[in-house]
Structure 1
């Protein structure tokens, strides 16, 4: 499952025996729920209905997948299909088919518009959204009830509720994971609530905007300096550790995604979920996160890739994967099907948030370097002697330099 694949040559048309090489990420936590099971079932169905096209699947962990694909491409052995975390570098290098060169008009038009846009480089879609998630504010309903608190709607509600929970001995009144694991997500949720974000309307970075500095000034003054974020400094707290503390009942509030919901309930923690509060009320948009699947040009299997992707993005296949990992479908029709099925009621709030969600600037090839600077530095903005303006300014300079190098 971790062997590097060689590319498959030949077969540029729609006839003849062709084997598509597919490399995918593993969303499971072990052999019992490995993504390999999903792909094996999907490929079996596809091959049965598409004689002459075989699919050879390799699954790598998320720790390894991007590096493995990059190494394959560098060797001149690109897979036909890669399901990974980003597409822009390969699209810019001219290595990917456009979406409209592969999939049917019906398939392309069925992607949620916000995801189709996020999968586009310079207005052209190359990244096909594979799966998505949104974020909501989670709170422990038991400790909130014990403290006589209602769900927060504004930042001041978060501050006041956290103070009340702290007085009652809750270890992490508000868990603020700005550690290197996923600081770019936590930071963006707060920036959106403060009327800012990572880029402006023209697509340029605006990381040290007045709105963003104000947001981190508020976080530092109202939560961190008041000791309401728990015993671990935000810059040292990773998302997974914060999630584990929540499922252990030691967190009052934190920002979470659908997978956390099931794990918390499995461990007996009653979960409340509301849209991420903003300065004066619920935020106008949530953070959305997507993973991507794409077709490489190298082996010339455009027609076969299109047939595979049209099959992959049927409602059943989209829903089966999303359901297996408590994630969200990426198409209008699959989303509508889940919204009308009470089996998926726990996901409805996340589905409601998805169409208006804001995504990372996936189409900027500089985003990977900008994201690394955020992960490395943004937690310093709320340190005891930290300066939000200075730290965000440093990240902005790093991002601008990365953009100029594109």
Structure 2
């Protein structure tokens, strides 16, 4: 499920414009001569991300002057508004959709052709595949790494982690405990709060088995992961509670020395991190097996006409694999994520040459491919809501060893009902 929050408010008239932008071939504004195809493109993001995407669109239009892209920047409730526009017959021609949400959207998209050899990561190449059919082409990878304060390790007499080799999950916990000190408002923590879904994978667990037919989040590995998260937030634990940090910026806590390790660090934070003193702060791999990776893809909606589909295929191929687009994914001021093609990785690293961005690339290369699961979003949302309400991962008090097997059974019932 999506970890990244889609921000702000839909642009005025956006959903209305989705219908207008899906009109058939017409003259490009300001060009009374030849005809061009106009297609609409829906996406989300903050101001800086919007600027990045618009620069990519401009690069495409320069290379393809016969195709006009009408951007539809949806700043909040992206998936809900996209679903509404699709149901109302006002679908955009092309839409960005995360692989984590694709199981709920793929029926609205046309099958697409994906050249798996164009991408350096097998997980990226498979991200848009649902039940054996590709519905999106890869656009941007959003792998996770960990940001650390090297000074905290040195102060605690610990070896600073390698920028290449991940800590084991056990070593992470031990280090976090040793770097936690003090009490009350002045307490410093070894780690920011852990995300259960991420820690589950890092510590060797998973939501489902390899073929997506069995729920496994309540097995031994799941219970162990949940206990680690719960114990980390106890009064003597190594992380602040999720309630205590609600509305707080964990990156600021890292910068101020209030936390020594910041797991679940996404590439959209690259510009902020690059501004720090790299002699003190370092990006390293996530512990253990790493966290789930989100891959945003580009889908062509079924309502697109033949002419629009042809134009959309050119557009999605350009955004997905042409260095003229992929080189723009990260800069010194903003980063959407990691390029999905090898030829653009050097441009990505140049956005923050001293920040060890190779850690993000390695996380993409080594990412674990998650199976397709029908009704994945509903199943995982139901599970997470119950887990948060019943255990100290959220606001509850029940023992994860009791709760998780029950929730796994509920998950299995929901999974079986999709067959």
TM-score above 0.5: yes
| 1:318 has 2:326 as partner | yes
What's the CA shift for 1:132?
1.4
Q: How many residues align?
A: 375
What's the CA shift for 1:22?
0.9
**Bigger mean CA offset, 157-166 vs 382-391:** 382-391
The structure that is helix-richer by fraction is 1
| 1:290 has 2:295 as partner | yes
Mapped to 1, the partners of 2:201 and 2:92 lie a distance apart of 37
Q: Which of 164, 172, 176 pairs up with 2:189?
A: 172
Q: Which of 195, 199, 211 pairs up with 2:221?
A: 211
Mapped to 2, the partners of 1:336 and 1:123 lie a distance apart of 32
Q: 1:198 touches 1:206 (CA, 8 Å); kept in 2? A: yes
Match of 1:253 in 2: 261
Match of 2:92 in 1: 79
What's the CA shift for 1:369?
1.5
Q: Which of 120, 124, 129 pairs up with 1:120?
A: 129
Q: How does 1:182-201 map to 2 (within 5 A)?
A: 186-201=195-210
Mapped to 2, the partners of 1:268 and 1:336 lie a distance apart of 22
Match of 1:58 in 2: 72
Mapped to 1, the partners of 2:188 and 2:351 lie a distance apart of 38
Mapped to 2, the partners of 1:233 and 1:358 lie a distance apart of 28
Mapped to 2, the partners of 1:166 and 1:217 lie a distance apart of 18
Q: 1:289 touches 1:359 (CA, 8 Å); kept in 2? A: no
What's the CA shift for 1:236?
6.5
Q: How does 1:249-398 map to 2 (within 5 A)?
A: 249-255=257-263, 256-260=265-269, 262-264=271-273, 266=275, 270-277=280-287, 283-300=288-305, 301-313=308-320, 314-323=322-331, 324-325=334-335, 327-335=337-345, 338=348, 343=353, 346-358=356-368, 361=371, 363-379=372-388, 380-382=390-392, 385-398=397-410
Q: 2:269 touches 2:335 (CA, 8 Å); kept in 1? A: no
Match of 2:57 in 1: 43
**Judging changes above 3 Å, is the alpha-carbon distance between structure 1 residues 264 and 290 closer, same or farther for their aligned structure 2 residues?**
same
What's the CA shift for 1:57?
0.8
**Judging changes above 3 Å, is the alpha-carbon distance between structure 1 residues 59 and 122 closer, same or farther for their aligned structure 2 residues?**
same
**Judging changes above 3 Å, is the alpha-carbon distance between structure 1 residues 16 and 109 closer, same or farther for their aligned structure 2 residues?**
farther
**Judging changes above 3 Å, is the alpha-carbon distance between structure 1 residues 236 and 372 closer, same or farther for their aligned structure 2 residues?**
farther
Mapped to 2, the partners of 1:157 and 1:352 lie a distance apart of 20
TM-score (norm 2): 0.78
Mapped to 1, the partners of 2:210 and 2:177 lie a distance apart of 36
Instruction: Render the CA deviation track for 1:334-355: whole Å, top value 9, x for unaligned.
Output: 2366569984863111101211
Match of 2:109 in 1: 96
Match of 2:250 in 1: 242
What's the CA shift for 1:240?
6.1
Mapped to 1, the partners of 2:96 and 2:140 lie a distance apart of 10
Match of 1:183 in 2: none
TM-score (norm 1): 0.80
Match of 2:169 in 1: 155
**Judging changes above 3 Å, is the alpha-carbon distance between structure 1 residues 266 and 315 closer, same or farther for their aligned structure 2 residues?**
same
CA RMSD of the aligned region, Å? Answer: 3.2
Mapped to 2, the partners of 1:341 and 1:233 lie a distance apart of 33
Unaligned runs of 5+ in 2: 1-10, 26-33, 162-166
Give the secondary-structure state (helix, strand or coil) at the position aligned to 2:330. Answer: helix
**Bigger mean CA offset, 66-75 vs 243-252:** 243-252
Mapped to 1, the partners of 2:125 and 2:246 lie a distance apart of 30
What's the CA shift for 1:373?
2.9
Mapped to 1, the partners of 2:110 and 2:282 lie a distance apart of 43
